[in-house]
Chain A
Amino acid sequence: KAGVTQTPRYLIKTRGQQVTLSCSPISGHRSVSWYQQTPGQGLQFLFEYFSETQRNKGNFPGRFSGRQFSNSRSEMNVSTLELGDSALYLCASSLVPPPETQYFGPGTRLLVL
């Protein structure tokens, strides 16, 4: 079985731009979670989707949004990028919530200049 795939793997943007990241979960997995990882902050939970519905949301501003499609693929969008948004964005999938074993993708490294 293919693992969780994330595209793109690397991205460079400038302040004020917006970005969309994509995540394809493991086949059959219907729950997708997104995390932001920075060296000083560890893993910060962004949101979780199941059956195209947002189940949980972390403490991030409204500039961060996401969605899930009927095939369980998910996207997250960050609008009006700030320098502090530079981070590794990780997607994790699991069969169904509540999450036990989460399978993480390799992440998308976003650099905001």
Chain B
Amino acid sequence: QQQVKQSPQSLIVQKGGISIINCAYENTAFDYFPWYQQFPGKGPALLIAIRPDVSEKKEGRFTISFNKSAKQFSLHIMDSQPGDSATYFCAARGTRDSNYQLIWGAGTKLIIKP
């Protein structure tokens, strides 16, 4: 079965530091890699996404780095703030062969210490 492995499971970062969450996928074709952010009591919300023809995408303090050959992608949060404390999910969308199904990572609980 297709999998997306996300690490770490939890992460504590000091305010102002860099938070890094990693995801790796197995040998299959994916064409879209979104990251979702979930606050307690809320549903996940799209944070940032990247396609495999791009190695990096930056939106404000959030950056996705994508390494196609290593089948890895990561989320970097620069100047992490207490308001960034949330659970983060990576995902990968399959191609037409898999009916474009989204495969999700297990999530990372991020805590930013003031």
A residues at B contact (CB < 8 Å): 4, 33, 41-45, 48, 55-56, 59, 90, 92, 97-107
Contact = CB atoms under 8 A, between A and B. Distances in A.
A102 B99 contact: no
A41 B103 CA distance: 13
Contact of B43 (A41, A56, A107): A107
13 contacts: A33-B102, A41-B106, A43-B107, A45-B103, A56-B101, A59-B1, A92-B43, A99-B93, A100-B32, A100-B93, A103-B46, A104-B36, A105-B43
Given A42-B89, A42-B107, A43-B107, A99 B44 contact: no
Interface of B: 1, 6, 32, 34, 36, 41-46, 49, 89, 93, 99-107
Given A42-B106, A90-B44, 7 more contacts: A4-B43, A41-B106, A45-B102, A100-B34, A101-B34, A102-B46, A102-B102
Contacts of B93: 98-100
A104 B44 contact: yes
A62 to B, nearest CB: 19
Contact of A106 (B43, B49, B89, B105): B43
A44 B91 CA distance: 12
Nearest to B87: A42
Given A56-B99, A100-B32, A42 B105 contact: yes
A23 B32 CA distance: 26
A59 B14 CA distance: 39
Contacts of B103: 45
Nearest to A40: B106
Contacts of B42: 104, 106
Nearest to B94: A98
